[in-house]
């Protein structure tokens, strides 16, 4: 593997034209032989030291922002960007292995470690990272490369298929709903015809949700799932969702409790509604007809908490660690209502991390589950 070299660093950022601070600790980073970098709290790289530039042959300005991703092997880029965005979203350290382009045009394996640095108030002020070479046996490297290529090909097929299905599915659902309304408006209609129309609408909605989940998963895997943050009354949002959903649930009762009239967070209303809808639909699917589902909104210090409690089948403790992974389904309920691909909670976790929040679960087999969302509060408007 090529050895690190040294190179004179430009003192200005080519993208912003701003002077690069090479005094103090940055002067120290510039003299160390390891490949080091720092970024702003939002993940935008704002410094790489001379060995990093010398190794890749790229000038500093080309590596700023997300420019560093261009020196990763194409098969590793998506995973590395996705892991980087997830770390930024939840404020947790990152460790990822990927192949890095050397100035000689070849790729070699490296492990990148990156940790957040906080101020006295606990806020992240920047990220500091190091990239070190790792020795991976050729057969293992080949296996990893093949596996990642297969995963990328699979994800590409899923994303393209879901995208192509979305338009005709929207038309099919609209026509099914129109047919259902026309039947319902007649003075007399054969009950079997009305039931058939209802089934058609329900199954069209189910397919539409699956397509939407596949598209969201592709966005997550490619680091492209975005949120639009604005001040949001979380308590009001939860009340609205419960009020809209209850009339559609003839077999379950939603019980809402809130210890505060309003609870303000910085959030994307559409994405947070997606999370809550998913949790509520799961609670309905995995709990017996006639049972209650408890929704609670609570203020906990500097955190806003929303919990969804069901009294269904529960989740075994050994299955919980995999619960938020994609394509994982760990609970057994009524097979007529629990069909799915195991993508909902995976997407929910990513959305919460993008909000600098979290999602967790407590469960007892036979006694139901409680899913808890936590979000940082902001001052009430």
- Show pLDDT as tens, one digit a residue, over the chain (381 residues): 443 333 333 343 433 334 444 455 666 677 778 899 999 998 889 999 999 999 999 999 999 988 899 999 988 887 888 788 878 877 888 889 899 999 999 999 999 999 999 888 888 999 999 999 988 766 666 776 667 666 666 666 666 677 677 778 888 888 888 988 899 888 888 889 888 888 888 888 878 777 777 777 666 666 667 788 889 999 999 999 999 888 888 889 999 999 999 999 999 898 899 899 889 989 998 899 889 999 999 999 999 999 999 999 898 887 887 788 776 666 544 433 445 567 788 889 988 988 889 999 999 988 999 999 999 998 876
Do 227 and 354 touch, CB atoms closer than 8 A?
yes
- What CATH number is attached to the domain comprising 245? 3.30.565.10
What's the angle, vertex CA 347, arms to CA 93 and CA 269, rounded to 5?
100
pLDDT of residue 8: 35
Residues 170 and 127 reside in one and the same domain:
no
Question: Residue 233 has which token pair?
Answer: 């009354």
- What span, in angstroms and rounded, lies between the C-alpha atoms of 142 and 139? 5
Inter-helix orientation angle 234-245/269-285, to 10°: 40
Domains contained in the chain, number: 3
Question: Residue 98 has which token pair?
Answer: 């990927």
- What span, in angstroms and rounded, lies between the C-alpha atoms of 360 and 320? 10
Tokens 């409790």, residue? 257
Helix (H), strand (E) at residue 94: strand 94-101
Query: Is residue 11 one of the residues assigned to a domain?
Result: no
Q: What pTM does this model have?
A: 0.52
Strand 94-101 to 107-118 pairing: antiparallel
**DSSP helix/strand/coil, 228:** coil
Do 4 and 54 touch, CB atoms closer than 8 A?
yes
Residues 265 and 366 reside in one and the same domain:
yes
Residues 193 and 313 reside in one and the same domain:
no
Query: Is residue 13 one of the residues assigned to a domain?
Result: no
Residues 158 and 270 reside in one and the same domain:
no
- What span, in angstroms and rounded, lies between the C-alpha atoms of 313 and 189? 39
Residues 151 and 131 reside in one and the same domain:
no
Residues 194 and 283 reside in one and the same domain:
no
For residue 157, the enclosing domain spans 141-221
What's the angle, vertex CA 264, arms to CA 260 and CA 267, rounded to 5?
140
E strands, 210-268, are: 230-233, 253-258, 264-267
- What span, in angstroms and rounded, lies between the C-alpha atoms of 331 and 316? 8
C-beta neighbour count of 223 within 10 angstroms = 20
């Amino acid at each position: 593997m090529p050895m690190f070299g040294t190179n004179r660093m430009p003192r200005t950022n080519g993208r912003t034209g701003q002077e690069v601070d090479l005094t103090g600790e940055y002067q120290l980073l510039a003299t160390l032989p390891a490949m080091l970098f720092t970024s702003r709290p939002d993940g935008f790289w704002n410094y790489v030291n001379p060995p990093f530039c010398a190794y890749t042959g790229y000038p500093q300005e080309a590596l700023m922002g997300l420019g560093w991703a261009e020196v990763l092997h194409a098969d590793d880029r998506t995973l590395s960007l996705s892991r980087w965005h997830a770390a930024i979203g939840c404020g947790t350290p990152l460790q990822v292995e990927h192949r890095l382009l050397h100035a000689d045009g070849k790729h070699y394996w490296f492990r990148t470690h990156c940790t957040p640095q906080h101020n006295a108030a606990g806020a992240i002020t920047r990220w500091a990272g190091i990239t070190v070479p790792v020795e991976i046996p050729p057969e293992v490297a080949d296996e990893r490369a093949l596996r990642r290529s297969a995963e990328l090909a699979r994800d590409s097929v899923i994303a393209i298929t879901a995208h192509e299905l979305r338009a005709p599915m929207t038309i099919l659902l609209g026509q099914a709903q129109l047919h259902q309304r026309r039947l319902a408006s007649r003075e007399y209609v054969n009950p079997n015809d009305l039931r058939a129309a209802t089934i058609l609408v329900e199954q069209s909605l189910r397919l539409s949700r699956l397509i939407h989940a596949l598209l969201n998963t592709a966005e997550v895997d490619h680091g492209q799932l975005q949120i639009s943050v604005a001040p949001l009354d979380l308590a009001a949002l939860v009340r609205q969702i419960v009020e809209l959903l209850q009339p559609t649930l003839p077999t379950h009762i939603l019980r809402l409790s809130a210890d505060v009239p309003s609870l303000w967070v910085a959030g994307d209303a559409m994405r947070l509604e997606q999370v809550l809808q998913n949790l509520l639909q799961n609670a309905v699917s995995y709990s017996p007809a006639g049972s209650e589902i408890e929704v609670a909104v609570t203020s906990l210090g500097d955190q806003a908490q929303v919990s969804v409690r069901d009294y269904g089948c529960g989740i075994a403790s050994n299955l919980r660690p995999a619960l938020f992974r994609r394509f994982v389904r760990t609970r057994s309920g009524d097979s007529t209502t629990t069909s799915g691909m195991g993508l909902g909670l995976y997407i929910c976790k990513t959305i919460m991390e993008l909000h600098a929040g979290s999602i967790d679960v407590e469960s007892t087999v036979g006694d139901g589950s409680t899913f808890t969302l936590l979000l940082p509060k902001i001052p009430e408007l």
